[in-house]
Amino acid sequence: MVDGPTLIAPPNDSGFGLVSPGTRRTITASKEWRSCSTGAGVMRTAFSVLFLTLLSGIPAWAQEALALGLKGPVHTVLTEEFGTPDGASPSEPTGSILEVYEQGGYMREFFRYKPDGSLWTHTVYDRKGPQIFRMQVTSTVPPIESHTEQNVFDAQGRVIETDTYDANGVLVSRFKGEFVEQQPNASIYRRTVSKADGTVSTAESIETTDPETGLTHQVETRDGKTEADWVIQRNKDGTVENDKIVYKDGSYNERERKADGTTVEDRYFAPAKTHTYQKTDAQGHLIEVIEKSDSRYIRCTYSFDKGGRPTGQTNYDAAGNILDKSTAEYRDDSHGNWVEKKSIVWDTKSDPMQPKIVQSTLRTINYY
């Protein structure tokens, strides 16, 4: 789980992507399990390493210029990827994206293209700064469907309604959020999702905070049934010292911030009986992930440069043997933004290990 602003984007498919802004985090997002490996086991081929966190060069969805680490008055960014999965064949295009930003650094348009250069998706944002009033997505292929989402904000700038329409302009779902009760140390936030088929689901977050101890307790219910129970311990400055959220199936996520600024997490997924242990440094960079169950184990470490860009990932088995290793190298422009990234996978079976480039990413950046 990561501290951050309350979501202003449309909710997820369940319609419950928002919780009380007082928590400044979301219960829904906290249950996303970060995996440092692929599938049920660790594949040793060079191609499999393309799935490693380090090599995910194209973002899965539109992001703001600041979140991407872009510097200067960026106007457009064209990102093109070329892959050589076998380390020998010529690089072939694997896809590209084009991002268009306004002068304030907020995204206005987002294009994703297929390897052959044809359009996959096009997203247009109608917004004022961080507030997105309307988002229109045009898609040419599944699984993404063309649709439009519209947000309604209250006087405090909080999303209180999100309407989703299909490609024909037919309303398919409506999300509404309201503060049933709001006091300095207690609040009740209710969210309702109505679908086109007439079904209605209601979620409610009841939150209380002890001003003396800084302990916050939040209970999440859906249609009257408890979904999650969350306890948060904050310091006097409001930062989270430790917290634990327990879900109805017995899964949990427990986090603690150490004195040196590092954060450790234990994420237990009850259906599979797996633990995922994560460690982040004082700057919030993920530096270690351990996935452990009765049948498998993998430990992954990550490195970053001074600018916070990922530079390496190494995967180990339970005996400490290296399973996979990948690194990244960057070339910057005069603004300090990278315009070329080489993602390199290493042959861990050779002695010494030999590198080969498996992916090249080029960025063409235009400035205001």
Answer whether 191's CB lies under 8 Å from 16's CB: yes
Taking the C-alpha atoms of residue 221 and residue 247, their distance in angstroms, rounded to an integer, is: 11
Establish if 178 belongs to a structural domain. Answer: yes
Answer whether 188's CB lies under 8 Å from 202's CB: no
The domain total for the chain is 1
pLDDT at position 89 is 58
Taking the C-alpha atoms of residue 26 and residue 159, their distance in angstroms, rounded to an integer, is: 14
> Is the peptide bond prior to 143 cis by the omega test (within 30 degrees of 0)?
yes
Give every CB contact of residue 303 below 8 A, 6+ residues apart in sequence.
287, 310, 311, 312, 313
Q: Which two tokens stand for residue 257?
A: 């911030």
Establish if 10 belongs to a structural domain. Answer: no
SS3 237: coil
Distance in angstroms between the alpha carbons of the first and the last residue of the chain: 35
Q: Which two tokens stand for residue 172?
A: 């398919």
Establish if 11 belongs to a structural domain. Answer: no
pLDDT at position 357 is 76
Establish if 46 belongs to a structural domain. Answer: yes
> Is the peptide bond prior to 352 cis by the omega test (within 30 degrees of 0)?
yes
Tell me the mean pLDDT per 10 residues along the chain, length 368. 28 30 34 41 29 33 69 96 68 92 94 96 95 96 93 92 96 94 89 95 95 93 95 89 96 96 96 96 95 95 94 96 94 97 91 85 97
Answer whether 333's CB lies under 8 Å from 77's CB: no
Q: Which two tokens stand for residue 338?
A: 């990278």
Establish if 92 belongs to a structural domain. Answer: yes
Establish if 256 belongs to a structural domain. Answer: yes
Q: Which two tokens stand for residue 22?
A: 């007082």
Domain enclosing residue 54, as ranges = 27-367
pLDDT at position 351 is 87
Taking the C-alpha atoms of residue 189 and residue 10, their distance in angstroms, rounded to an integer, is: 17
Answer whether 254's CB lies under 8 Å from 275's CB: no
Taking the C-alpha atoms of residue 177 and residue 202, their distance in angstroms, rounded to an integer, is: 10
Q: Tell me, what amino acid is at 176?
A: K
Q: What is the 3-state secondary structure (H, E, C) of 273-299?
A: CEEEEEEECCCCCEEEEEEECCCCEEE
pLDDT at position 13 is 31
Taking the C-alpha atoms of residue 9 and residue 3, their distance in angstroms, rounded to an integer, is: 16
Establish if 8 belongs to a structural domain. Answer: no
- Closest Cα partner for 203 from 211, 213, 193, 216? 193
Establish if 14 belongs to a structural domain. Answer: no
For residue 187, what are the CA distances in angstroms to 239, 241, 326, 354? 19, 22, 47, 58
Cα angle 218-220-223, degrees, rounded to a multiple of 5: 155
Which pTM does this prediction carry?
0.77
pLDDT at position 36 is 66
pLDDT at position 87 is 54
pLDDT at position 184 is 85
